[in-house]
């Protein structure tokens, strides 16, 4: 059992650690370049491949995406209630606590834990989470949301392309599948390297307070994942992926918003760092006892 758990968690941990050490060694790490490659090429191709992996059951895919949205919205409401009750700085903390690192960590963990079908469900969750971040999270942080900005979200083009082939019942050309699979294949290792690099640049403050808040965030996320999975009657891989994605640490994207709009970025950075470390201990326990 230990070997199986190690096989799931170690690739994510080790590749993130490489990115972490690389930056700590003060080697050049072109974060902006890697982010652009991921967002503009890797992400839409990964979404395209992932959604096509669920094409045999469109109903299951759309229902799972709706379940993901329900879980994310409930987490947002719970985060807002907690922040107001605890008297925390509102916008920065609400965004951080309602987010989950469903891309950098969630997708590879679901792949290694549950195989290709698990990755496809994880990508479906990631699509919903990403759209939510670029709309609702921006609205909370900046107080303004422009729907037309969604057209600049590159994963939408992956969704549109996958939807075309799914709805028409046609197979993508071999050259297209080969190209998108190669481009999608670069995203997971680059995401993990970028995650480690981001952690290396973050500073921890108010450790006791932040660790407590982070533990509450992850416990609530797991609880919501279990409740929503039971509500939708999930019992297999779909249940496992939904719970695992909801348990993920605070998303790095929340720090970018906090830093850009001055929403307590130091505390948000500390939340990201501490919850990410917690995840490496939490995920094996979840795989052991929940799944």
Taking only the tens place, the pLDDT of each residue in 3-31 is 677 788 889 989 999 999 999 998 998 88
What end-to-end distance do the CA atoms of the chain give, in Å? 13
* Confidence bin at 115 (pLDDT 50/70/90): very high
Helix (H) or strand (E) holding 229: helix 207-231
Determine whether 167 is exposed, middle or buried from the number of CB atoms within 10 Å of its CB (0-12, 13-18, 19+).
exposed
Q: How far is CA 32 from CA 62, 123, 194, 208, in A?
A: 33, 23, 10, 32
* Cα(70)–Cα(101) distance, integer angstroms: 17
* Cα(59)–Cα(42) distance, integer angstroms: 26
- Rounded to 5 degrees, what angle do the CA atoms 254, 258, 259 make? 120
* Confidence bin at 147 (pLDDT 50/70/90): low
CATH topology of domain 2-17+30-289: Na+/H+ antiporter like fold (1.20.1530)
Pseudo-torsion of CA 197, 199, 204, 207, nearest 10°?
A: -160
* Cα(102)–Cα(264) distance, integer angstroms: 22
Please compute the mean of the pLDDT values over residues 72-86 and round it to a whole number.
94
**Of 144, 148, 168, 37, which Cα lies nearest the Cα of 91?**
144
Q: Is pLDDT at 145 greater than 90 in this prediction?
A: no
* Cα(181)–Cα(29) distance, integer angstroms: 25
- Rounded to 5 degrees, what angle do the CA atoms 212, 137, 128 make? 100
Helix (H) or strand (E) holding 243: helix 237-246
What's the pLDDT score for residue 143?
62
* Confidence bin at 1 (pLDDT 50/70/90): low
Which spans in 25-154 are helix H? 31-37, 43-52, 58-86, 90-97, 107-132, 138-142
Taking only the tens place, the pLDDT of each residue in 206-234 is 878 899 999 999 999 999 999 999 999 99
Q: What is the pTM (predicted TM-score) of this model? A: 0.91
């Amino acid at each position: 059992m230990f070997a199986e758990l190690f096989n799931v968690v170690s690739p994510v941990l080790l590749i993130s650690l490489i990115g972490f050490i690389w930056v700590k060694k003060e080697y050049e790490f072109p974060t902006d370049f890697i982010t652009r490659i991921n967002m503009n090429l890797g992400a839409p191709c990964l979404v395209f491949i992932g959604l096509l992996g669920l094409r045999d059951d469109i109903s299951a895919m759309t229902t799972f995406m709706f379940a993901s949205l329900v879980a994310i919205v409930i987490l947002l409401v719970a985060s807002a209630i907690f922040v107001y009750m605890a008297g925390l700085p509102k916008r920065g903390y609400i965004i951080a606590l309602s987010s989950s690192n469903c891309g950098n960590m969630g997708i590879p963990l679901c792949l290694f834990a549950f195989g290709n079908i698990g990755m496809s469900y994880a990508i479906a969750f990631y699509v919903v989470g990403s759209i939510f971040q670029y709309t609702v999270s921006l609205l909370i942080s900046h107080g303004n949301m422009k729907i037309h900005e969604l057209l600049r979200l590159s994963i939408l083009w992956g969704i549109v392309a996958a939807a075309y082939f799914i709805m028409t019942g046609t197979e993508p050309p071999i050259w297209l599948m080969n190209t998108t699979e190669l481009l999608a294949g670069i995203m997971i290792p680059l995401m993990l390297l970028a995650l480690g690099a981001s952690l290396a640049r973050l500073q921890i403050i108010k450790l006791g307070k932040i660790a407590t808040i982070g533990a509450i965030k992850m416990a609530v996320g797991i609880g919501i994942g279990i409740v929503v999975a039971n509500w939708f009657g999930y019992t297999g891989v779909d249940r496992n992926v939904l719970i695992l994605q909801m348990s993920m640490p605070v998303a790095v994207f929340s720090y970018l918003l906090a830093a850009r709009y001055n929403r307590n970025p130091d505390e948000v950075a500390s939340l990201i760092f501490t919850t990410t470390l917690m995840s490496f201990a939490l995920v094996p326990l979840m795989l052991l006892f929940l799944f």
